[in-house]
Structure 1
Amino acid sequence: MAPDDPGLADLIARHAAHGDAHYPAESNHHLTGPEMAAKGVRLFAGWLSGDVVAMGGYVPWADGQAEVKSMHVAPSARGHGAGAAMLDVLMEAARAEGMVAIWLETGSRDASAPARRLYERAGFDYCAPFGGYVEDPESVFMTRAL
């Protein structure tokens, strides 16, 4: 799905606002729609009653690895499995594209605790910073084989 789709653009903006409300700017790693498009993020959306309520994507790396980007579920859809379903979709798409492992960065504060639980349940393990990330008390890093 294109990040400039109106429903998805709204959820991208809400995702950024959530990060901005809970984390300092230097620790925010969310991307705008144009940044996602420029980085080649494979973006997926989940719909409920005509509204985009979940999104997630991944950016493939040249070595068969990928990074989860911009997972977000609208408050109205939280607690109903939308996040798990979205994560399953993007991991299956990454696997089908030939990715063998997937990585992610998420927040360390209570506001991100549901996301960390989701990733833990999906088999992600905590790891050191990867790619261009550096140690940051506001971030945690996770990975899993596909």
Structure 2
Amino acid sequence: MQIQTGDLTDPEVIAFLAAHVAQLRSMGPPESTHALDLAGLRAPGVRFYTAYDGGELVGCAALKDLDGTHVELKSMRTAPHRTREGIAERLLTHVLEAARAGGHTRASLETGSYAFFHPAHALYRRHGFEECAPFGSYRADPLSVFMTLKL
């Protein structure tokens, strides 16, 4: 598998992200859905990564700089037909290494609280993330889980 800086002009990547945002928005009310759309991923301070296996786009992840030392993990997605193959694990390891290399000392994330997200919660816990209070501009929401990791 190859993980690289993602091309946000590539039609395949755009379609992959559109499916991600549509899926997440179908699961909860708009005020509880915090997925970055294409414009959000193109914003300054956001680094976007893609994972390819044999030329197939199989995953993505992004880091959003919050304050120079704190980054937020965004847009973690594995192609639905490729889940449970370790793709998310490799992407997470890659972006956390990128955050450390960039001088960040904390990584945080917001994800859903429903059963669909339980495998993601387990992945984040295996990497040392712990539940925390809302951070940045987030507010407490029973449909969200907030997690953080000291890098």
What TM-score bracket applies, with the shorter chain setting the length? over 0.9
* Aligned CA-pair RMSD: 1.2
Secondary structure of 2:42's counterpart equals helix
Q: Could you tell me the TM-score, scaled by structure 2's length?
A: 0.92
Map 1:1-146 → 2, pairs under 5 A:
1-146=6-151
CA contact (8 A) 1:11 1:53 kept: no
1:14: Cα distance to partner?
1.4
Q: Which digits, 9 at most, give the CA deviation of each residue in 1:122-141, with x for residues without a partner?
A: 11000000000000010010
Structure 1: 5+ residue runs without aligned partners? none
- For 1:144, the aligned partner's letter is L
User: Within 1, Cα distance between the matches of 2:145 and 2:67?
Assistant: 23
Secondary structure of 2:43's counterpart equals helix
Q: Which digits, 9 at most, give the CA deviation of each residue in 1:39-74, with x for residues without a partner?
A: 431111101232211000101233411000110101
Secondary structure of 1:22's counterpart equals coil
Structure 2: 5+ residue runs without aligned partners? 1-5
Runs of 4 or more above 2 Å deviation: none
1:20: Cα distance to partner?
1.6
CA contact (8 A) 2:109 2:148 kept: yes
- Which residue is 2:3 aligned to? none
Give the total of aligned pairs: 146
CA contact (8 A) 1:103 1:142 kept: yes
User: Within 1, Cα distance between the matches of 2:118 and 2:9?
Assistant: 28
Q: Which digits, 9 at most, give the CA deviation of each residue in 1:57-107, with x for residues without a partner?
A: 101233411000110101121101000000001000111010111000000
Task: Evaluate the alpha carbon distance shift between residue 2 and residue 114 of structure 1 in structure 2; reply closer, same or farther with a 3 A threshold.
Answer: same
User: Within 1, Cα distance between the matches of 2:44 and 2:73?
Assistant: 12
User: Within 1, Cα distance between the matches of 2:28 and 2:113?
Assistant: 9
User: Within 2, Cα distance between the matches of 1:4 and 1:118?
Assistant: 29
Q: Could you tell me the TM-score, scaled by structure 1's length?
A: 0.95
Greater Cα offset, 14-23 or 124-133: 14-23
Task: Evaluate the alpha carbon distance shift between residue 92 and residue 31 of structure 1 in structure 2; reply closer, same or farther with a 3 A threshold.
Answer: same
